[in-house]
Structure 1
Amino acid sequence: MAACDDATSRLREALEANGQRFTEQRAAVYRFLAQARTHPTADEVYVHVREQVPGISLATVYKSLETLVCCGLATKLSYADGSARYDGRTDPH
């Protein structure tokens, strides 16, 4: 539980530092992305997060991912074909 509390605190601090609000939808996206062993697409994040937050929309997932990127909590990996994947690990790896 402590790791979850640390992640939530980190999310809250980063959002507040960037003038953003903490929401349960953003928290669910962040939790999934932080534990993902792959670099998921927004659609993959949506499918998994929807199990935890049934009312979440794909648009909210996209906005949450972009917010996490802007706050330095995720990295957007853009490809030449226009697709994108997201990495919740911001440390060198």
Structure 2
Amino acid sequence: MRRNVDSEGTGSTSGTADGGAPPASGAGFCVLPRSTASFYTRPDVAVLPAPDLADNQISLVWNFSHETALVQDFSDVCYLLRPLGAK
């Protein structure tokens, strides 16, 4: 049950380990899931809830050249356990 992501998506990402760097430097802000924000805390970054934001979507992505049976099995389990109404 492979779900492909098209290759025309644009944008950039940063890992959670450096997610606090732009706010800490005064260069911006980042929106993180509550679980991530509470796990990766920094004394120089303020964390505020944003209750008015819409629910977000989480996607599973991997490099097909590194696909293994374990990765495919994990993908299948994620698909089977997806919330009702999700694609």
TM-score interval, normalised by the smaller of the two chains: under 0.3
Per chain length, whose mean CA-contact separation is higher, i.e. which structure has more relative contact order (CA < 8 Å, sep 6+)?
Answer: 2
The structure whose Rg is larger is 2
Normalising by the residue count of structure 2, what TM-score does the alignment of the two structures yield?
A: 0.25
Name the structure where strand makes up a greater proportion of residues.
1
